[in-house]
Amino acid sequence: MLKPRSTATRELVSLDGLWRFALDGGPGPLDTTLEAAVPASYNDLFTDSAIRDHVGWAWYQRQVRVPRGWAGERVVLRVDAATHQGRVYVDDALVAEHVGGYTPFEADITEHVRAEFADRHGIVVIDETAAVGLNLAVASGLTGAPPRPTFSPDTFGEATREAHAQAIRELVARDKNHPSVVMWCIANEPASNEEGAREYFEPLVELTRKLDPTRPVSYAAVLFATHDNDRIADLFDVLCINRYYGWYVATGDLATAETYLEHDLRGWAGRFGKPIMMSEYGADTMPGLHSVWDTPWTEEYQQAYLEMNHRVFDRVEAFVGEHVWNFADFQTSHGIHRVDGNKKGVFTRDRRPKAAAHALRARWRSLGGRKPQG
């Protein structure tokens, strides 16, 4: 689905801005005094815990004036994204419905003559589906719940895979004509080390290649998936690895972390012989916290942590790319391992640079598009 552009024969109207908002509602006028910004996550906009912690349906509404010059013209309503299920009404009429986050949907509403949605605009390089959480071992570790198999008829089975396949179809259809998209990533941190992973993912990899035979396909491997036990890496073209040595493992001991990381990356390269990139690496950092030695949470530690990773990256011949987690701090649910959200950003939540941002700028400017020699 191509993103519309304004031309001599096509006029676009953006509906970004403040909308009336309510958790309870339906077709017809909303009885509410609340307003929420579009695009945005409503959970992040209110202090009321009933809204901040809400998971489920929420209602947005606004009045739209159709330009007089549109009389007799075709009017199409487009939603760039609504996570994870969306319904759109014009007056009391349901005109569009969609399941799956991060991909657009649209409807011809000429007969209703009302509105067109456009929520977000962005460019990506590695295009990833919303398939996050296909790993029940992680949930068990965080909650203490008894472990369950990730891939089974009672957990993630055929129904999940079909929803996953539909998300891939929509992602490729939306973005395949963007030259900035260089690779498809079809899952983030799945349980690729568990039984059933290959049976789940092999048809999805085949589907992605059928939809677009011109781009490589990847997934992001979780820490529990190693070069010894991963069951699906050979299906993919590029190995994307998420690793946090020096943070979640060997916390505060960067010398040990450096040894672990290099052994890990060389293991993947030796077994699979494929290009490798680090799709997540980072350390939580409180802005303004400083120390004269390697102390986790300080700006100095974040910078030293990144430098350690980069030394290893530069020494491994198969290594082709690095993606720091994260660009900027962001809000999360409460947890003892969070301090007012995830602080792995190299920028603060209001986009002020930490020391690591300047270090990354210097490194990436010096590369000149070439891999440095370790």
Integer Cα distance of 370 and 374 in angstroms: 12
pLDDT of the residue at 119: 28
pLDDT of the residue at 263: 97
pLDDT per residue rounded down to tens, the chain (374 residues): 778 888 888 888 999 999 999 998 888 888 999 999 999 999 999 989 999 999 999 999 998 887 767 766 788 999 999 988 999 998 878 899 999 888 899 988 876 764 644 223 344 478 999 888 899 988 777 667 788 999 999 999 999 999 999 999 998 988 888 788 899 999 999 999 999 999 999 999 999 999 999 999 999 999 999 999 999 999 999 999 999 999 999 999 999 999 999 999 999 999 999 999 999 999 999 999 999 988 999 999 999 999 999 999 999 999 999 999 999 999 988 877 888 899 999 999 999 999 999 999 999 989 877 887 76
Integer Cα distance of 86 and 97 in angstroms: 6
Domain-wise residue ranges, the chain: 17-108, 126-367
189 is catalytic: yes
Residue 347: DSSP 8-state: B
Per the structure block, which two tokens stand in for 146? 């008894």
Residues 6+ apart with CB under 8 A from 8: none
- Minimal CA–CA distance to 76: which of 50, 121, 108? 108
Per the structure block, which two tokens stand in for 145? 């719940």
pLDDT of the residue at 261: 98
How far does CA 347 lie from the centroid of its chain? 18
Residue 86: CB atoms within 10 Å: 18
Residue 44: CB atoms within 10 Å: 14
126-367: in CATH 2.40.50.140 = no
Integer Cα distance of 358 and 299 in angstroms: 11
Residue 113: CB atoms within 10 Å: 13
> Which of 128, 280, 299, 322 is flagged as catalytic?
280
Residue 91: CB atoms within 10 Å: 9
- Minimal CA–CA distance to 321: which of 138, 115, 210, 182? 182
Annotate 231-290 with DSSP letters as a single string. SSGGGSSSEEEE--BTTTBSTT-HHHHHHHHHHHHHHHHHHH---EEEEE----B-TT--
Angle at 310 between CA 309 and CA 315, to 5 degrees: 105
Strands 59-61, 17-22: parallel, antiparallel or unpaired by DSSP?
A: antiparallel
Strands 105-108, 76-79: parallel, antiparallel or unpaired by DSSP?
A: antiparallel
> Which of 189, 258, 299, 322 is flagged as catalytic?
189
Under 8 Å between Cβ of 284 and 271 = no
Q: What is the pTM of this model?
A: 0.72
Query: CA-based Rg of the chain, rounded to a whole angstrom?
Result: 23
CATH assignment, 17-108: 2.60.120.260
Strands 85-90, 93-99: parallel, antiparallel or unpaired by DSSP?
A: antiparallel
280 is catalytic: yes
Under 8 Å between Cβ of 336 and 356 = no
